[in-house]
Structure formats: C-alpha cells, structure tokens
C-alpha cells in the first residue's frame, strides 16, 4: 500500500528538520553524534536532499567536499571538520596524510581513501531542480565544479584501474560498505593484523554494539590504514605491495552511472570535446568491464579479489551492479529482476518490506542487525529505485519508493533497518536517509 499524502508531508518535514539539525553551515554532519564530520558519498546524497530545499546550499555542500580533493584527483572518504568536542575514531592523527605529497595542505585534514562517486548524480539532480531564476548562478558554479569531477573520475579510471579493465579497485572496506561479507575472505588472509593501541568510540555511541563491525574487523581495518600510511598513500606502490585489492563491481557501477551523468551535463558545463570523448571512453570501458563480471548462471555480478586471483561469489546487494550502472542489457536486466524478487532477496518470506537487503538472508554471513551484513540501507534502495526508473521498470521502482517511505515512516530517519522487523538500527537522524526521503517525497 502506498503512503498517504499526509504521511509524505510529515516525512518531508521530519527529513528537512534532520538536515537542518545536522547542518554545519557549509557542510553537513553525516549524523549528529556517531559521524560528526563530512563524509564523501554521504555529502553527495545530502546535496540531493538540500537541492529540494535550497539549490545554492546543495552546491555549497559539493563545493566544500571538493575543496578537500587531493592533487591526484581523489576525493577523500572523509574530511575532518568537527572540532575536538566531537570525538571520532580513527581521527586525522591515525591517517597522517601529511605523508603524501598529494594530500591537501593544512589546515584541511582528510583520510587517505575514497568512496563511491555518487557526486555527479547529485550535480545532475541539483541542475534538474534549479528554478529558472537561479540557473545563471548555478550554471556558472557547475562550470567550476565539473572539471574537478572529471578529474575525480580520471583518478578512479587510472590510479584505481591500472589494468584499464573498466573496474575500480577498492583499497579498504571503509571505501563504502565496511563489514560487508564481500571482504571476509580477503580480511581473513591478513593473519598478522596487530595495529598500534587504539580505543573505539563508535561502539559506545549506538544502543547495541553488535550493530557495528567487530574488534576483529577493526584490527584489520586499522592495520590496513597503517599499511596505506607506510606507502605514503602512493597508489602505484599500494598496487604493487599492499594486501587488499578488490575489483568492486558496485563501486564500478556507480562510476558508470556517474560518467553518464557528467555526459548528460556536458552542455550545461560547457565541456570541451576532449572531456566528452574521455567520458564516453570511460563509460564504454566500464560497461564492458562490468559485463565481463556477470555470471549468467546465477544472474549476479561478481567482485574479484586481485591479490588472491579469485572471484567473490556472494549474494549481496552489490551483485546487482548492472542495474546500479543503469546499463544492463535486456537479458541481464531480466535475469537481475528475477533474482531481485526471488526468495534470495526481496521475495524472502520473512522480509518486513520488499526492499533490497545489504546481504541475502540466504547467505551464511547474513546478520539481520549487523551493519552491511544484512540490514536494509535506504541510500542503496534509492540508487536501485533511480536505476530501475531509468531502465524503464517504473512499476517496480514505485514499489521500492513506497516501501522505503513506509519503512522510514514506521522506523524513523535511521541509518539502516532490520530487514525482518523494519526496526531502525545504528545512528538516528542520519543525514543521507533524510536526503533520500526528501527526494522520494518531492
Ligand atoms: C564508519 C557515514 C559512513 C558511510 C559509510 C558507512 C559508515 C563510517 O558511515 O562508515 O565509521 O564506519 O559504512 O558508508 O559513508 O554515514
């Protein structure tokens, strides 16, 4: 059943209040307590939310993030912006990016990894929502930001894909989906992970620490950061020596969608022929790369562990990369839609809502309350919703929007949701959930 007009209006107000509550002026906290800084892909979703309230503020969000872009083109996964009264671990001293000549100069402080490039999708939405009277100003701001976004995509297409495979290599679980079972085997191979002494703060900031990654995970996450630091965040050296290199089909899919979004904005941005041709080449290469990872037997797209030289055959949300890329051909689309509504995913009889869980309940690593190991993440369902619309599957897309809004109306503007009960988990008042709520209720 779809949500009523009253519920939509109520959700809209609540979502706007969350964004305003987390607004730090020119950037937005990912959540009030647990994530007090500016996160990269959160900011992109947040800009989509702001675009419904104030397109200028939405542009500022992206501009602030890109102000911390590295000389390599990398947009860091986190910009440390909150003061010392907002503890977050690991902080800038753990990352110590001063080791890299490519890191931004002080006082800007960032981490040394990145997250999926949702930013161009945000820029596209901002432009779509820009009222005519504001178009001259927003257009000129887009013209400044656009080349920086092209550079960001260039970083991903080169430093993170030296093989020119069309697939992005992820260096760290914190590059999006922290404790996803997709990384389990690669992390298990790291047997000597003994990072320096540390104290977590995240586990005391959620009602139940079992909703967060374990200490075993954190030992490995932090040890990996130590290795990145040791290699001075030099991508070429990391590629030669570092133990965690994974061709991530979800990350790659977002880059494909983002390259298409930049091409769509090329006229607005006044892009030259060089940029247009380059974006087209990356787009074609990305699509071919993703197609090469599609498994016709299962209908899933599969990640690849570069170091181990092995496929990662798990049923998680990432397996729907051809849909997220908005580039599935008709055969792949049909196979993926069948799988999406099968008992392994949205058709599982115990699900509270027919939404895509982060891992299949049929997968052995599935945990219904544990972060990226099973819960439903609204932003992932937003990406699926937008993709299905663009692929012409609007009836299924409408259901995803409606179920997502019902879930948020019942559970709150949470970070993630228990798939069987719909209960809110993790951090309350999560900015990116508020942002997609604003987009869904427009
Ligand atoms: C952490 C902010 C971030 C997201 C990530 C998510 C989580 C932070 O929160 O990571 O401390 O583990 O996994 O995707 O950007 O919302």
Decide if the complex's ipTM is over 0.95: yes
CATH class for the domain made up of 5-440? mainly alpha
Is 389 in a helix, a strand, or coil? helix
Measured from the CA of 432, which atom of ligand 1 is nearest? 16
Predicted local confidence at residue 1, as pLDDT: 59
Distance 381 CA to ligand 1 centre (A): 16
Total Cβ atoms within 10 A of residue 433: 32
- Three-state SS for 95? helix
d(CA 410, CA 244): 39
Q: Find the residues whose C-beta lies inside 6 A of ligand 1.
A: 30, 35, 39, 41-42, 115, 176, 178, 202
Q: Which of 35, 119, 54, 82 is nearest to 431 (CA)?
A: 35
Nearest-CA residue for ligand 1 atom 9 is 35
Q: Which atom of ligand 1 approaches the CA of 178 most closely? A: 13
Token pair 């016709």 in the structure block, residue: 296
* Cβ atoms 187, 219 nearer than 8 A: no
Consecutive 10-residue averages of pLDDT for the chain (442 residues):
90 98 98 96 99 98 98 98 88 95 96 98 98 98 98 98 98 97 96 83 84 89 96 98 98 98 98 98 98 96 98 98 93 96 98 98 96 98 98 97 98 98 96 98 97
Question: What is the spatial distance between Cα 256 and Cα 323, in angstroms, rounded to a whole number?
Answer: 11
Residue 277's Cβ-count burial label (10 Å; 0-12, 13-18, 19+) is exposed
Overall residue count recorded for the chain in this entry: 442
Domain boundaries defined on the chain? 5-440
178 in active site: yes
Tell me the CA–centroid distance for residue 115 and ligand 1, in Å: 10
Cα of 328 vs centre of ligand 1, distance in Å, is 28
Q: For residue 410, what are its two tokens?
A: 């019942």
Q: What is the pLDDT of residue 200?
A: 87
Residue nearest to atom 14 of ligand 1 (CA): 176
Catalytic residue among 175, 403, 415, 439, which?
Answer: 415
Nearest in space to 98 (alpha carbons), one of 110, 115, 81: 110
pLDDT of residue 262: 98
Query: For residues 14 and 429, is the Cβ–Cβ distance under 8 A?
Result: no
3-state secondary structure of 38: strand
CA dist., res. 227 & res. 222, Å (int): 9
Rounded Cα distance between 344 and 250, Å, is 18
User: Which one of 19, 34, 39 would you pick to mutate in the ligand 1 pocket, going by the greatest count of ligand atoms within 8 A of its CB?
Assistant: 39
What is the position in ligand 1's atom list of the atom closest to the CA of 431?
A: 16
The structure tokens 């977002």 sit at 254
Is 415 catalytic? The answer is: yes
Q: Which helix (H) or strand (E) holds 143?
A: helix 135-158
Distance from the alpha carbon of residue 89 to the mean position of ligand 1, in angstroms: 12
Catalytic one among 23, 63, 96, 178?
178
Residue 166 structure tokens: 């069309």
* Paired tokens of 72: 């390599």
CA–centroid distance, 267 to ligand 1, in Å, is: 34
């Amino acid at each position: 059943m779809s949500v009523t007009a009253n519920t939509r209006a109520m959700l809209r107000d609540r979502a706007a209040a969350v964004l305003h509550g987390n607004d730090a002026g020119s950037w937005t906290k990912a959540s009030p307590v647990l994530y007090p800084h500016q996160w990269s892909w959160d900011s992109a979703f947040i800009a989509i939310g702001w675009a419904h309230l104030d397109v200028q503020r939405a542009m500022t969000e992206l501009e602030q993030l890109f102000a911390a872009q590295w000389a390599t083109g990398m947009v860091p996964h986190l910009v440390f912006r909150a003061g010392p009264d907002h503890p977050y671990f690991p902080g800038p001293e753990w990352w110590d990016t001063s080791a890299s000549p490519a890191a931004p100069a002080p006082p800007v402080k960032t981490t040394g990894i990145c997250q999926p490039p949702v930013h161009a999708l945000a820029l596209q939405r901002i432009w779509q929502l820009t009222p005519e009277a504001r178009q001259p100003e927003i257009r000129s701001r887009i013209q400044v930001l656009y080349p920086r976004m092209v550079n960001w995509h260039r970083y991903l297409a080169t430093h993170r894909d030296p093989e020119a495979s069309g697939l992005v290599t992820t260096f760290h679980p914190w590059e999006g989906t922290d404790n996803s079972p997709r990384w389990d085997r690669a992390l298990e191979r790291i047997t000597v992970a003994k990072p320096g002494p540390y104290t977590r703060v995240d586990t005391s900031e959620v009602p139940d620490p079992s909703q967060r990654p374990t200490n075993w995970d954190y030992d490995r996450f932090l040890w990996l950061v130590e290795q990145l630091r040791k290699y001075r965040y030099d991508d070429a050296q990391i590629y030669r020596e570092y133990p965690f290199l994974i061709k991530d089909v979800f990350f790659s899919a977002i880059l494909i969608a983002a390259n298409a979004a930049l091409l769509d904005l090329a006229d607005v941005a006044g892009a030259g022929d060089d940029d247009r041709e380059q974006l087209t080449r990356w787009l074609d290469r990305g699509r071919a790369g993703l197609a090469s990872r599609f498994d016709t037997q299962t209908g899933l797209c599969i990640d690849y562990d570069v170091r181990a030289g092995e496929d990662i055959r798990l049923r998680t949300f990432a397996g729907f990369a051809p849909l997220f890329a908005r580039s599935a051909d008709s055969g792949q689309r049909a196979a993926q839609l069948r799988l999406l509504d099968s008992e392994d995913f949205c058709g599982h009889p115990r699900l509270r809502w027919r939404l895509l869980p982060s891992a299949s309940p049929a997968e052995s690593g599935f945990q219904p309350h544990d972060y990226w190991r099973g819960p439903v993440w609204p932003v992932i369902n937003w990406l699926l919703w937008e993709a299905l619309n663009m692929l012409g599957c609007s009836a299924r897309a409408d259901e995803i929007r409606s179920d997502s809004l019902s879930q948020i109306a019942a559970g709150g503007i949470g970070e993630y949701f228990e798939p069987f009960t719909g209960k809110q988990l993790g951090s309350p008042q999560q900015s990116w959930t508020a942002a997609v709520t604003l987009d869904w209720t427009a």
